[in-house]
Amino acid sequence: MDFAAAHVSFVIGAYALSAIALVGLTIQVITRDRALKAELRRLEEHRR
Amino acid sequence: MQTLANPARFVGLANAVLPFVWVATIILFAIGLYGAIVTSPPDYQQGETVRIMFVHVPAAWLALMVYTVMALASAVAIVFRHPLADVAAKTAAPIGATFTFLALATGSLWGKPMWGAWWVWDARLTSMFVLFLLYIGYMAVWQAIDEPHRAALVARIVALVGFVNIPIVKFSVTWWNSLHQPASVFRIDGPTIAPSMLWPLLVMGLAYTLLFLALHLVSIRAEVTARKIRQMRLAEIGER
């Protein structure tokens, strides 16, 4: 890829936006899953 | 399918499959990005801007595919009363909305240097925007109605009625005059893209699909846990 070519900032912007959105979504999904698992463990221990 | 109707069995299967899906996703993204940024040539007309295709087109494919998954899951919920079908549809929506947002935003970044405009009310762009609104509306139904069974009933209708928009998005470039280029990969007479650009595009498409699969499995597992927590809390209130 020629980084000096015309309109290259649009290409970088598209890849950066995609990376931010997809990595952000992945982190959000994994964090929610872990938080809910921890919450369930807490509730199960509390019941015992 | 009936075997997977048991949420515990489904979670067990998801736990077993997920590590392989994550590894395959990372490998495919590495290969796809190498092809997209390093080996594929610039276009003779669009120059380097054509590389936006490798993130824009897979996002658009997934935007349509995820909504189709939502509509199918909703139909399965109505016909077979599969306990995980509503969960599958509900958890697919935020992922599909993200892909739709990315298709719109990267399309806008591609449109400005090529068409001279960030946005035009063209049939393809407008139907894609309607798809984004359908995702938002579907998620709003689940947020607005507290009781999950009632929310599921309304959400199924929204998903199935909204599915009408999927062929409109797909064929909008054929049915109406459009600034957007026509289909160049999934065509009856075969792809019209050069092989040097086609393989990274297909690999990126597969990487996006596997990312969706991984995120969807984790989201379904999380939703099953959330429902278990809700039941335990309701049982606690009932015991008091």
Q: State which residues form the domain around B201.
A: 7-239
A21 contacts B102? CB cut-off 8 A: yes
> Is the sign of the CA dihedral B209, A27, B152, B138 positive or negative?
negative
How many folded domains does chain B comprise?
1
Tell me the pTM: 0.93
- Find chain A residues with C-beta within 8 A of B95's C-beta: 25, 29
A22 contacts B113? CB cut-off 8 A: no
B56 contacts A14? CB cut-off 8 A: yes
The structure tokens listed for B54 are 């490798």
CATH number at residue B122: 1.20.120
Distance from CA of A20 to the nearest CA of B (A): 10
At residue B92's C-alpha, the angle toward residues B90 and B96, to 5°, is 125
Phi and psi angles of residue B187, each rounded to the nearest 5 degrees, phi first? -125, 155
Among chain A residues, the shortest Cα distance to B54 is held by: A15
Q: With 90 as the cut, is the pLDDT of residue B45 above it?
A: no
Predicted pLDDT at B185 = 74
Q: Does any domain span residue B2? A: no
Nearest to B71 by CA among B160, B171, B5, B173: B160
Q: CB of A18 within 8 A of CB of B102? A: yes
Q: Amino acid letter at B226?
A: A
Calpha distance B115→B157 (Å, rounded): 37
Q: Does any domain span residue B64? A: yes
Q: What is the ipTM of this complex?
A: 0.93
Q: Does any domain span residue B49? A: yes
Q: CB of B57 within 8 A of CB of B209? A: no
The structure tokens listed for B162 are 């909204």
DSSP, residue by residue, B138-155: HHHHHHH--SHHHHHHHH
A13 contacts B110? CB cut-off 8 A: no
Q: Does B113 touch chain A (CB under 8 A)?
A: yes
Q: Does any domain span residue B1? A: no
Taking only the tens place, the pLDDT of each residue in A2-43 is 787 888 999 999 999 999 999 999 999 999 999 999 999 998
Calpha distance B184→B22 (Å, rounded): 29
Nearest to B88 by CA among B238, B217, B226, B233: B217
Distance from CA of A45 to the nearest CA of B (A): 12
Q: Does any domain span residue B127? A: yes
Q: pLDDT-based confidence at B181, cuts 50/70/90?
A: confident
Calpha distance B67→B165 (Å, rounded): 10
Calpha distance B169→B164 (Å, rounded): 9
Q: Give me the mean pLDDT over the B127-135 stretch.
A: 97
- Find chain B residues with C-beta within 8 A of A5's C-beta: 42, 47-48
Q: Does any domain span residue B118? A: yes
